[in-house]
Structure 1
Amino acid sequence: MLSRRALLSQPALSAALAAAGGLAGTGYAIAVEPHRVRVAAYRPDLPGWPAGTRLRIAVLTDFHAHPRCMGEAAIAAVVARTNALMPDLTVLLGDYGSQDRGGVPVETVAGLLRGLSAPLGVHAIQGNHDWGDDRAARRRGHGPTRTERALRAAGLPVLENAAVPLDAAAGLWLAGIESEEVPGAPRDPRALDRHRLAVLARILAPVPPGDRVILLAHEPDLFAAGLDPRVALTLSGHTHGGQVRLLGFAPWIPSRYGTRYAQGHVVEGGRHLIVSAGLGAHFVAGVPLRLGAPPEIVVVDLGGSDATA
């Protein structure tokens, strides 16, 4: 995975940022798009989905909370908009705090997210920055991270390599897998895939063979490894939709697979993945820039035909 330093050294991104400079000069890419949160809606038709079971899931991810982009008022507004969508289940997919100076403390973020409400609960996982930016947890080689402590203190369950039943009668489960950035995870891509599939197998051990699982995975790359057939749907973030997209082209996406899992609904081999572009932004050249990849609340309606809005 490219670091942000490597990102800024990429010629393609430098050219894209130069092209974006004209728009940024008008304030659009800095002052408008990063704050124009849209609702992206999906209705995937999942194979083997329990007949008669309808489920609405709200997906929030990649807050990177900072007063200049996804500050406290913006998070509060996202919470209110999400609740107004009346989801049955709300999931949080990681990267809550900002990596830039002056960010909103993760404890404050967690306190705001405590306002989320859904009949089947609000469940969280952690992202790469929740682990990678926590020096104390990395020195220890294990959690809990500062983020996990903040979420749990706010009453938000954290699915760190765990699965919980959502609807026992329908045989429906929710599972969350750790980020690729946990201490001790292999760096070699093939070894990393083997490691994560082994972790997933342990997570799914209590799930009966005929049941269906919704998997929360911050990074989408695991989807390419060939998941357990019990996983009906994978929900991911991490990519920011590219964060800068010009004429559909994203010069940098933090994935081994480039644009393959950049954003939206992906179907491969009958398996379904939905990737959110997230809410916040990394600072690029000192500004929280988004261009052609607006922040979004994702809503997934299950139990109907496939359509995207």
Structure 2
Amino acid sequence: MAIISIIFPLIFMVLLGYVLTRVGFFNKEHITGISRFTFYVSIPAFLFINMLAAPLAQSIDPFALLAFYLPVLLVFSIGYRINRLFSPIALQGRDASAVFALGASYSNTVLVGLPIIIAALGPAMMGQVFMIITFHSATLFALTFILAARAQPQGFSWRRFARSMVLNPVVMSIGLGILVNALSINLGQQLDEGLALLAKPALACALFVLGANLSFYRIGEHWRLALMASGLKIILLPALVYIMAQFVFELTTSSTAMLVLLSASPLGVNAYLIATELKQHESTLGSTVVLSTLLSVFSFSLWLTFLI
């Protein structure tokens, strides 16, 4: 399969969202509405019906989880140390270092990774993809908040964090899909068709919203730090995942490709939202979202050429 046939439709949707928002056809309020529909309605429906149809026995692969998460944790640690060594003194604290580490390791799995994997490998790998996505935000956000809490007087609330993760629409929809699948519950033809209709625009809307959101971010004064974080995210992380999957755990070719493409995804916008919440490295992570997304076009092209 030609790489351009995989990449172009995805880039087209991102560019369309960027251009239409940039020229003022959509404003921030419009995009907020589209985003709410996408992330709270369409994507949950998409994740639920696909998890409902996934073969659970084949989806739960502990070696695939280890091949993905061990490099993620290693890159998070590297990012933490790099920030302590190379950031301006005002940004070398534990909370700022945790945020920078998140920016170097958190993947845009739903908006970018999932469409790339479906386009390149087909829907057969979605069960494994969803298993990884389920723990992705919980693992990295918890680690970031725990490290940041060491620098904050109020500390870290496991109760508040657990509640936010359980109510996360991605985690909730995948979890419900697993439960209904495991219990072999028949939803009925009408409900199946309704959910399928809701799910159809999910990936197109997600890519459109990604492009639209990029128009609101700028590459700021900490672009060198953003470039370092982008390099860790889309170069080092997928390379480590490939080594773990191919040579340590000896996974199948398709599983290895899925894990590498997922890890090669650019920084997710949610990491920037964490940065603004903690008031650390906002400019750096906003710039990293833009830089890593732009550079991921070349990274994906290289990995697709190598893997497919």
Higher strand share: 1
Q: Tell me which of the two structures has the higher relative contact order, counting C-alpha pairs closer than 8 angstroms and 6 or more residues apart.
A: 2
TM-score, normalised with respect to structure 1: 0.29
TM-score, normalised with respect to structure 2: 0.29
